[in-house]
Structure 1
Amino acid sequence: MKKTVLIVMTLLLGNISIWAQSKTRDSINNLLKNTPQFSIFKDNYFITGVSLNEPSGSNNSDAKLQISIKERITNATLPFDTFLYFTYTQKLFWDVYSDSSPFSDSNYNPTLGIGKFYLNKHKLLNLVGIGIEHESNGKDSIDSRSWNKLSFYYRMALPASTTISINAWIPFAYKSDNPDLMKYMGYFEANLTKKSRNGRFIVEITTKKGASWDKKGSLQTQLYYRIGKRNNQYLSLQHYTGYAESLLHYSEKTNSIRFGIVLRPSNFFLHE
């Protein structure tokens, strides 16, 4: 009798586990199928401001723009329920207040990667990914800056609309243009994002630590206020201090504050 009960319980628990895994897989597949394959990747923004290192004026005031898109090439149909994606991010620094209004630097960052969503114990959606990235500024001669990396990404969703992200990388093919780049860029980036209960306010902190024993690295703090109740448009205040804000001047420390409008991507928080 005890053996029979044990066998029945084992089969029952096994069926529940298989059903739960299937339910999780179906939920994620349905989420991917019901969301656009082409979408915003990182923040898209136009912000403008001044350097805090010296009195404000046309020589140290600029605009900073970012365009970032994502194409999910497949749904979770690859082995281990992974999906293939392509992203492209372009960041521009525009001396809009000077006479000729030139773009002082443009950074181009395409990525091809494989990602996987999975539910955590809070029934919130986590993401892991691995990708091949290239970043350069399109200039030649002594102003040329470029590097490549194998990147590893992990985003963990927590209760109360909080996420923690870690992006680590192995750089390669960069020493000809900028051999000391890692001293300022480091080998990882950490991000903490916290939303208010009503979703109108967001605080985001992003930090890098350079690969040296000194204080090289960067800290970016950004505050967001959503303009409407049901859209992705925000007013935003961004403060950046540290190195490698742009590739051209990666070895120069900056301390700037900018304000403008941001289009944020949708974050996946899946509840069942």
Structure 2
Amino acid sequence: MKLSSIIFIWGMLLCSSLNLFAQQTDFKNFETRESTLDERWELTSESSQGTFVVVPYKPIYILPGRWSNRPNKLPTSLNPDNVAKIPNDYNNFEARFQLSIKTKITSGLLFGKGDIWLGFTQTANWQVFNEKLSRPFRELNYEPEVIFNYPLPSDASIFGLKPKMVGLALNHQSNGKSLPYSRSWNRVVFHAAFEYRDLSFTIRPWIRFSEKFDTDDNPQIGNYIGVGDATFVYTHKEQVFSLLVRSNMRLNNRFKGYADFTWSYPIKGNLKAILQVTHGYGETLIDYNYKQTTVGLGVSLIEWL
């Protein structure tokens, strides 16, 4: 099949999926909001949409063109069963897309304010330009979660800084592959979110559920992906600037980290052009102990805002 046909079919499928999702989701709420966190997490009675309503979670985007300075052609792990023996001839250019949704399944917990959500995120890295390897999906990451979220008093403020919510999640992430490419882990992820004028930020430390070494797909993953992350989002005249950073918090020569910067610019309605630049370890699960730099261009419907 020709590359043009593949891209056309891929684009039609994605557009159809996003269109169906848009029809079932009230994107207008996210278009005119002032308090992002209030709207995205339904922290007030005015923003509540009830239970079992599908809404966006993490960014939803398509990057038809994405460059890596050094694609991971021979994934390794400290577990010898998860070490690839034959390198893959991956291209430096590939496509990437992400879909992410959540739905509230119950509310009114813990003094009548806490909510429980189910979340799901899928990220795909597709070697669509690699005809030699029959254009495979290099990596698919699946991330289901059960999230407890608790809103903080709306009038709380410390020198203009407004604490908005706290909570925790049971998080599983895996790539669904068999040995030697299998990668997965389970975590308890805590979160606290704040707003200051046009800036919002969320801090998420986590604790990994321990596994035996001989059954662990990615031993010492925390040494590379880190022990938590922080996401900063700034809006300016409908443009959105976001920065996600994470590290292992080691202030020595064992420091490992990762940064993901995204800039979105409105095109029409909810459609926005985006630039995404990443650097560091753990760009995907298969790359958890591998450092690279990527640059991608594409479009989005939903960012962190």
Change (3 A) 1:141 1:34: closer
Please give the alpha-carbon distance, in whole angstroms, between the structure 2 residues aligned to 1:242 and 1:140. 25
* Offset at residue 265 of structure 1 (A): 5.4
Change (3 A) 1:206 1:180: same
Q: Summarize the alignment of residues 104-119 of structure 1 with structure 2, pairs less than 5 Å apart.
A: 104-118=138-152, 119=154
> Partner residue of 1:193?
233
What SS does structure 1 have at the residue aligned with 2:299? strand
- The residue identity in structure 1 corresponding to 2:144 is P
Whose Rg is larger? Answer: 1
Q: Is the 8 A contact 1:40 1:265 kept in 2?
A: no
Scaled by the length of structure 2, what TM-score is found?
A: 0.71
> Partner residue of 1:89?
121
| Sequence identity (%) | 27
* Offset at residue 127 of structure 1 (A): 2.1
Matched, 1:237 2:278: no
Give CA-to-partner distance per residue, 1:109-137, whole Å, 9 cap, x none. Answer: 00001101232336967122211000011
- The residue identity in structure 1 corresponding to 2:207 is I
Change (3 A) 1:247 1:34: closer
Please give the alpha-carbon distance, in whole angstroms, between the structure 1 residues aligned to 2:219 and 2:249. 12
- The residue identity in structure 2 corresponding to 1:67 is L
Q: Is the 8 A contact 1:129 1:154 kept in 2?
A: yes
> Partner residue of 2:265?
225
- The residue identity in structure 2 corresponding to 1:162 is L
Matched, 1:203 2:241: yes
Give CA-to-partner distance per residue, 1:145-179, whole Å, 9 cap, x none. Answer: 110000101110111x2101101100014551111
Change (3 A) 1:35 1:72: closer
Q: Is the 8 A contact 1:223 1:237 kept in 2?
A: yes
Unaligned runs of 5+ in 2: 1-42, 72-89
> Partner residue of 2:199?
162
Q: Is the 8 A contact 1:243 1:254 kept in 2?
A: yes
Matched, 1:140 2:178: yes
Please give the alpha-carbon distance, in whole angstroms, between the structure 1 residues aligned to 2:52 and 2:187. 28
Please give the alpha-carbon distance, in whole angstroms, between the structure 1 residues aligned to 2:217 and 2:174. 10
Aligned CA RMSD, in angstroms, stands at 2.4
2:55 to 39, 62, 84: 39
* Offset at residue 34 of structure 1 (A): 7.4
Change (3 A) 1:97 1:83: same
- The residue identity in structure 2 corresponding to 1:29 is S
> Partner residue of 1:11?
none
- The residue identity in structure 1 corresponding to 2:282 is A
* Offset at residue 50 of structure 1 (A): 1.0
Q: Is the 8 A contact 2:59 2:304 kept in 1?
A: no
Please give the alpha-carbon distance, in whole angstroms, between the structure 2 residues aligned to 1:211 and 1:117. 28
* Offset at residue 232 of structure 1 (A): 2.9
Higher mean alpha-carbon deviation, 43-52 vs 59-68, is at 43-52
Q: Is the 8 A contact 1:232 1:265 kept in 2?
A: no
Matched, 1:70 2:102: yes
Change (3 A) 1:136 1:34: closer
* Offset at residue 186 of structure 1 (A): 0.8
Change (3 A) 1:35 1:123: farther
